[in-house]
Amino acid sequence: MSTIRLKGGRVYDPANGVDGETRDIGMRDGRIVALHPREEADHEYDVSGCVVMAGGIDLHTHIGGGKVNLARMMLPEDHRANRARDSLLELASNGCCTPGTLETGYRYAQMGYTAAFEPAMLAANARHAHMEMGDTPILDHGAYVMLGNEELFLEMLARGEDFERIRDYVGWSIDASKAMGVKVVNPGGISAFKFNQRKLDVDENHVHWQVTPRHVVHTLARALTELGVPHPLHIHASNLGVAGNIESTLATIDALDGLPGHLTHIQFHSYGKEGPKKFSSATRQLIEKVKAAPNVSIDVGQIIFGQTVTASGDTMRQFANADLGSPRKYVGGDIECDAGCGVVPFRYREQSYVNALQWAIGLEIFLLMDDPWRVVLTTDHPNGGPFTSYPHLIRLLMDKSFRDEQLARLHPDVAASVDLREIGRELSLYEIAIMTRAAPARLLGLADRGQLGVGAAADIAVYREDADREAMFATPEYVFKDGRLVARQGRLEAVPVGGTHFLETEFDPGIEKTIEQYAQRHLSVSYRNAKIGNDELCSCANGGALLACKVHGRRGGK
Amino acid sequence: MNATTQTQNPDSSGSSGQDWTCPFCSLLCDGFRVESQQGGLKLVGSDCSKAVQGLASFGPVPSAPSATVDGREVSPDAALDAAAERLAASRMPLFGGLATDVAGMRQLVRLANQRGAILDHARGDTLMPVLRTLQDRGQMFSTLAEIRNRADLVVCIGTDAASNFPEFLRRCAPVEGAAFARRTVFVGASAPAGLQGEVDEVAPHGDLFDAVAMLGALIDGRRLPAADAALEGLAQAMRASTYCVVVFEPGRLPAQGTLITEAVLRIVMSLNRKTRAGAFMLGGADGLQTANAVTTWMSGLPLRSRVGPLGLDHDPVQYASERLLQEGAVDLLLWVASLGPKPEPPATALPRIVLGHPALAADCAAAGTVFIQVATPGINADGHLFRADGVVTLPLRALRDDGLPTVAGVAKALEVRLAVRRLATEDRP
C-alpha cells in the first residue's frame, strides 16, 4: 500500500482545532493516517511555505440537472471560448457561468475543491441530476431533493393528514430520489404560480390548497429532524429578490420554531425598503436574528460583478424578473405537479445601485456574523456568480484594502453610504477553512470530510502562501482526492469518477400505497419508475462510489 | 382511439414485462406490457401504432450477433479493429444518427473527443428551430402531468398531435373528476377521431406563419384591420383559459420553422402576463432529446458541435449532416441507429461505420462500410432515455438477451483501440 507524506506545511484544520501549526500529514489507501516521523513514505512532498487544508466543499452549487442544462443550451455565447487544455486528460468542455459537467469538475478540482452539492434536484428530474453529477469528474457529489411544492405534499397538508404520514412521505422521497437532504424553494410558491398566484408571503394562503409557507417550512423541518437527516432543511425563502423581503426571511426563521434550518443564498433575502430607492440593506436585522437563533445556519450567495445566469426552481420569482434578463431571454417550465424551473441570464453591474448594494450586503453578512461555523461561502453558483470567482471572494473577505478598492468602483450612492465601509474585519485562514470546508462538512453530516484528522478521507488542498489571496486560492500547489494527486499547480494529474453521497432513511413503507395511488391518478410516470435503486444510481452516476449514509429516525418526538 | 384508456394510466400490474418502457417515440410510455409470443413481441394495453410497429421489427431472436466489413461477415473483434483503423485515418469524422441511450451517448462524446468529430442527430433539422429559438429568446414549457391536471385549453398548432405520438392526447387527458373541462383546438390540422371533451378545428386563412403571427397579435390585444374571426375567437379563449398549453411538432414545421417556434414562445410569454400557459413540443424522437442533453451537459454546447483536442465549435447551420455529406466537408460517417431499423444511414461514397439495428445489415453490406449490430434499449438491453419534455428520464429494461453489444460497449471498445494506437505511435522513435 503506497503512502504519501506532506512535509512541513502549515495546517488549518478547524474541525480538529488546528490553527496554522506546522505538521506533517500522512496518507495511505485514500485515508489520512499517522505516519511515524521515521517511517519512509513512498511519495513525499515538501510543502514548507504552503498552507494545508481539507479539500473544499461547496454545499450549494447548481452543477447538474434540467435547469442547468437548459441554461447551457440557451447560452452558447458562454461556451464559445476555448480554453487551452492543460492536460491530455481533459476532454473538450467549455463555459464559465454554466460550464459543461466535465469543465465543472476540472475547474473545481483545480481550485482545491473535492465535493459539490446540487441544491435543487426535482424528484421528476432526479435521474438526470445524478447523471450530470456522475459526469462531473473528480468531485464527490450529492443533491437535495426539492419538496414543499408537489401537489401531493400540499394536498396532504391541506387535508390535515397525520404528521407521521407526511414524515414517511418525506423519508420515501429522499430514498426514492437518492438525495442527501431536502430543499424547499419559495415554500408553496412554485405550485401557487401554477394557479396564477404571483406573490406568496409567509403567512399568506396558497390560493388553491389554502396552506401557508410557514406551515410548509415547519412541517418539512420537523420531518427531517424526526427522520434524523443530518443536513437541516435547506430553505430558499419566500420573496427572493424583493425589496423588503427581510420580513419574510425573519418570519421563515420563526416558522422553524427552533428546529434546524439552513437559509440559503441569504443575501438575496436580506433587503429592506428604506432610502430614496426603496431598496436597502437589512444585514443588521438579519445578523441580529441569526445570532440569536443557534438552530439556523446560512450560506451567502455573494454576487460577483459580470455576466452570469440565474437558474432556479422559483418560477414565481424568476418569471417576475424575466424582463430584467441580460441578454434578454427566458426559460421557464411547470414540471410534473412537482416543481418548476426558471432561467434568466443576468449581468451584475457595479454602477447599478441595486447590484452594488447586493454586493455589499453579501460581504457584510460574511463579516458581521460572529460564528463562522454557521456561515458557508457560496455565490449560489451560477446565480450570484460562477464558482470560479471563489478565490476573488476570499480575497475580498481577507483583505480590507482590496475590498475598499472594489468599493470605490461602486455606484456612488452605495459607495458613500454602506456599512461595509466601516467594517475593518479581515477573515483569517482559519475562518476561511471553516466556511469552505469544516462548516459545510459538519452541516451535511460528513464526518470524515472537511477535516484532516486520522481516519478522514484524504481530500486535501495545498496552497502556496501568497499575500495575494486570490492568486493563492486560485491555483493550489497540490490537490489530492481520496489520497490520489489530481491536480498540481492547476494542471490535472488524474480524473477519477467522484462518488455520490446519499441518505438511506427509515420510513413506514405503507406510505407507498398513497404515493402509488396518487401517481396512478395524477402523474405521467408509473410509480415503479418513481424510485431509483442503488444499481440504477450507480449507472446514472457513471459507476462512481455509492457513499450511502444510513440515518436513524427519532420517531415520535423531537 | 381507445376511450377507456383516456383517464387513467392503463393497469399493467401482475405479469411479465410490467416494467417495460417503450423506446419507440419520445413519450416513453411506461404503462403498457409486452408479451413474448412465438419468438415475437406483442404490445398489451395499447394499440399505439408506433409501439406495435417498433416491436414488429424484433422477430425471433437472432441466431448470432453479426458484424460485417465491406459486406464480409467477420468476428466482432475484427469489425472493431476495422472500424478503429478507419476512424484513426479520418481527419474530420461525422457522428450522425445518434439514436442511442444516455450510456451510448456518453461514450460517443468521449470517442468524438479522440477524433475531433462533429456530432449531429438524424433529426437535427427538427431540433434546430427549437434550439435557435431557445438560444435567441428562450422557452416556456409544460410537461405531461401538468397538462393532465391543469390544462383547460390545449391548442395544437399544425399537428393532429396523434399520428406520430399516438399516446400523447390520451396520456394528458384530464383526470377523472377533474375540476375543469378540456377543450382541444387544432389550428391548421385535423382533429384525430374519438377525442374526449370539446374539440374544434380552426382553418385559418393563409399559411401557418400568418396564423401564428395573427394569433400572437390578437393575444397581445392589437387591433387588426382584417382579423380572422376564428383566430379572434381562439385568442379570446386562450386569454380566458386558466392554463393554456400550446402544442407544436418540430418534425412538421415548414422550412424557416424558427419563425413559428418563436411565435409560439411569444404567445405563451404574452399569455403568462395575465394567466398561465406553457408550450409542449412533440419532438425528440429516435433519442434526439437524449443525444442533445448528454452532448450539452458534457461539453457545454448542444448538437451540431465539433468536439476534440482543439476544443469545441458549435454551428447549427454549418454542421448539418446532410450539408456536410453533400459538400464533402467530412471524410467518414459513423452512424448510430440502435432504437429500431430507422434512421437509416445515408448513402455516401465516404467510409461508413454503422452501429445499428440488425435490420440495417442489408443496407450496410456495401464496400466501405463496417456494420456492427447493436442492442436496442428496452428490447434487448437496459438503458435510459429522455422524454420529449426534456425533464423526465426513464429507465428502459431489456425484455430479452440477444447477446448483442450496446452502443456504449462498442464505442468504449473503439475508444480503447484508438488510445492503444495513439500510444503505439507516440512510442515510435
Confidence band of B2 (pLDDT split at 50, 70, 90): very low
Environment class of residue B389 by beta-carbon count within 10 Å: exposed (0-12), middle (13-18) or buried (19+)? buried
Residue A36 C-alpha cell reads as 511515524
Res A213: pLDDT: 98
Q: Which amino acid type is present at position A397?
A: L
In a domain, A280, yes or no: yes
Res A208: pLDDT: 98
How far is A323 from chain B, CA to nearest CA, in Å? 11
ipTM rounded to 2 decimals: 0.97
CA distance A387 to A376: 13
Give chain A's residues under pLDDT 50: 556-558
Which chain B residues are closer than 8 Å to A196 by Cβ? Answer: 242, 275-276
Which chain B residues are closer than 8 Å to A101 by Cβ? Answer: 297-298
Peptide bond into A327 cis (omega under 30): yes
pLDDT tens digits for range A29-41: 999 999 999 999 9
How many CB atoms are located within 10 Å of the residue B429 CB? 2
The whole domain housing A74 covers 54-492
The strand ranges marked E within A29-178 are: 31-33, 43-46, 50-54, 56-58, 113-121, 140-146
Judge whether residue B323 has pLDDT over 80.
yes
How far is B9 from chain A, CA to nearest CA, in Å? 6
CA distance A401 to A468: 12
Find the length of chain A: 558
Higher pLDDT, residue A314 or B40? A314
pLDDT tens digits for range B345-380: 999 999 999 999 999 999 999 999 999 999 999 999
B176/A521 touch (CB, cutoff 8 Å), yes or no = yes
A335/B391 touch (CB, cutoff 8 Å), yes or no = yes
- How many interface pairs between A and B have CB atoms less than 8 angstroms apart? 206
We report the CATH number of the domain holding residue A474 as: 3.20.20.140
- Mean pLDDT computed over every residue of chain B: 93
How far is B277 from chain A, CA to nearest CA, in Å? 9
Nearest to A112 by CA among A479, A530, A552: A479
> What residues contact B423, with CB distance under 8 A and at least 6 apart?
none
Q: Provide CATH 3.40.228.10 ranges for chain B.
A: 128-281
B390/A70 touch (CB, cutoff 8 Å), yes or no = yes
Nearest C-alpha in B relative to A335: B143
How many CB atoms are located within 10 Å of the residue A16 CB? 14
Backbone angles phi, psi at B420, to 5 degrees: -65, -45
Are B280 and B141 in contact, with CB atoms under 8 Å apart? yes
Judge whether residue B16 has pLDDT over 50.
no
Res B66: pLDDT: 86
- Nearest by CB to residue B311, choosing from A92, A196, A526, is A92
Q: Which amino acid type is present at position B356?
A: G
Are B295 and B109 in contact, with CB atoms under 8 Å apart? yes
Sign of CA dihedral A103, A108, A114, A118: negative
Nearest C-alpha in A relative to B7: A521
- CATH C-level class of B67-123+286-427: alpha beta
Q: Which amino acid type is present at position B202?
A: V
B391/A125 touch (CB, cutoff 8 Å), yes or no = yes
Are B85 and B74 in contact, with CB atoms under 8 Å apart? no
Are A341 and A66 in contact, with CB atoms under 8 Å apart? yes
Confidence band of B63 (pLDDT split at 50, 70, 90): low
The strand ranges marked E within B22-171 are: 33-37, 40-44, 67-69, 72-74, 93-99, 118-119, 138-142, 153-157
Interface mutation vs chain B, best among A79, A518, A524, most B CBs within 10 Å: A524
Judge whether residue B17 has pLDDT over 70.
no
Environment class of residue A323 by beta-carbon count within 10 Å: exposed (0-12), middle (13-18) or buried (19+)? exposed
- Nearest by CB to residue A522, choosing from B145, B243, B297, is B145
Confidence band of B49 (pLDDT split at 50, 70, 90): very high
Residue B187 C-alpha cell reads as 389550428
Are B143 and B331 in contact, with CB atoms under 8 Å apart? no
Residue A63 C-alpha cell reads as 452543477
A275: three-class secondary structure by DSSP: coil
Interface mutation vs chain B, best among A62, A72, A73, A151, most B CBs within 10 Å: A73
Q: What is the dihedral angle through the alpha carbons of A490, A492, A497, A502, rounded to the nearest 10 degrees?
A: -10
How far is B306 from chain A, CA to nearest CA, in Å? 9
In a domain, A154, yes or no: yes
pLDDT tens digits for range B395-412: 999 999 999 999 999 999
Q: Which fold has domain B128-281?
A: Dimethylsulfoxide Reductase; domain 2 (3.40.228)
Question: How many domains does chain A divide into?
Answer: 1
In a domain, A353, yes or no: yes
Residue A557 C-alpha cell reads as 418526538
- Mean pLDDT computed over every residue of chain A: 97
B140: three-class secondary structure by DSSP: strand
Res A184: pLDDT: 98
**Weakest-pLDDT range from A162-166, B102-106, B203-207, B354-358:** B203-207
Radius of gyration from C-alpha coordinates of chain A: 22
